[in-house]
Amino acid sequence: MKLPEIDTAYLLDFLVRLLNTPSPTGLAEPAIALVEKELAAFPFLQLTRTRKGALVAKWQGQKNDAPRALTAHVDTLGAMVKEIKSNGRLKLTKIGGFAWNTVEGEGCWVFAADGRKVRGSLLLDKASAHVHGAAVNETKREDDNMEIRLDARTASAAETEGLGIRVGDFVAFDPRVEVTEEFVRSRHLDDKACVAALVAAIKTMTEAAQSPARSVYFLFSNYEEVGHGASAGIPPEVQELVAVDMAAVGAGQASDEFHVTLCLKDSGGPYHHGLSNRLREIAGKNGIEYRTDIYPYYGSDGEAFWRAGGDVAVALIGPGVDASHNYERTHTEALIATVQWVMAYLLG
């Protein structure tokens, strides 16, 4: 069977909308709500929220035994206010694993607990070249010397508190999304690229009047970047789980921005050999070009479920993303290949 044609314009449009929806881990609800609204267009999907706040979509298949699951996460890297400094600026604590230099100079939103939002940017506390000279270059970026400069008239802790800001408020860094020459450049393609791929697979199959061979659960998880996204939310009857998450691109890696990768091992060890091999077979039958790779510093929601006791086969696929957990980039070809592999898996 030939795979249905993917609506690339839709895939990119939804991806851009999702990327522009701030969703740091812990405050990912707006992205969950966006996916939920998008999937509400498909009335045959059974949508539920877990108590933890993730979204589960069940799609009844032609067979109901041995159901499958796919997961991708909507939460992203971000930060929280750790301290309101005496000069009114904010010290932060990171959410997820990234280096401060990757967001230095970036615009951001501070989400005050009372619902107000304040704009700002992340800077080194010795930011001015004319004041600090060589220190601007030589200072090691650490929690203690990075700060948010708020776009508000504040020079004291009291004035910043007057804006509604408190310790523990969430901070989201601007994704700076740009689609150019079929490249998508943005923060947080990890893992919004794969969330968009799953939604596009559902839409494409539906429009082609196709349905999955076996019942499938899609888990849109909301705590992956801190290591326990899919540890809950996969129903116990599920037999296999395909985590859909970005592939790590860089020196020594087999992955690239134009292909989908099957990850065979990461920091959590090898994935399930049988399921990985079946995915290879499916790709081969459907003419999907893919890479195989090993990621040196990486964990997935598939492993989160394994660690939580999930008794399933787990495999990991996803599009190559350059400069991950930094200012990321991928190409439309990799996104399309990911959607194709997901559809081929569902139909097989």
Residues engaged in binding Zn ion (CB under 5 A): 190-191, 245
State the residue number with the nearest CB to Zn ion: 191
Query: SS3 for 81?
Result: strand
Nearer Cβ to Zn ion, position 15 or 84? Answer: 15
**Torsion sign (Cα): 63, 284, 260, 7:** negative
Count CB neighbours of 207 within 10 A. Answer: 13
d(CA 213, CA 22): 35
Active site residue: 147, 224, 257, 333, which one? Answer: 224
How far from each other are the two terminal CA atoms of the chain, in whole angstroms? 10
The two tokens of residue 36 are 């939920």
The answer to whether 25 and 223 are in contact (CB under 8 A) is yes
Q: Are 274 and 226 in contact (CB under 8 A)?
A: no
- In the bound complex, what is the minimum distance in angstroms from residue 88's beta carbon to Zn ion? 34
DSSP string, 175-212: ---EEETTEEEETTHHHHHHHHHHHHHHHHHHHTT---
Nearer to Zn ion, 190 or 322 (CB): 190
CB count, 10 Å around CB of 92? 21
**Ramachandran region of residue 50, left (φ > 0), alpha (ψ -120 to 50) or beta?**
beta
- CB atoms inside a 10 Å sphere around CB 133: 11
In angstroms, give the least distance from the CB of 45 to Zn ion. 23
Q: How far is the CB of 246 from Zn ion (least distance, A)?
A: 6
Closer to Zn ion by CB, 147 or 191: give it.
191
Please, what is the minimum distance in Å from the beta carbon of residue 172 to Zn ion? 16
Q: How far is the CB of 272 from Zn ion (least distance, A)?
A: 19
Q: Which residues does residue 183 pair with via DSSP β-bridges, in sequence order?
A: 180, 331
Output the smallest distance, CB 125 to Zn ion, in A.
30
- Placement of tokens 């998508």 in the chain: 184
Alpha helices per DSSP H over 27-171: 29-39, 129-132, 135-138, 157-162
Residue 328 appears among annotated catalytic residues: no
In this structure, what token pair is assigned to residue 165?
């800001």
> Between residues 146 and 246, which has the closer beta carbon with respect to Zn ion?
246
Q: Which is nearer to Zn ion, 81 or 342 (CB)?
A: 342
- Cβ proximity to Zn ion, 109 vs 295, nearer residue: 295
Active site residues: 224
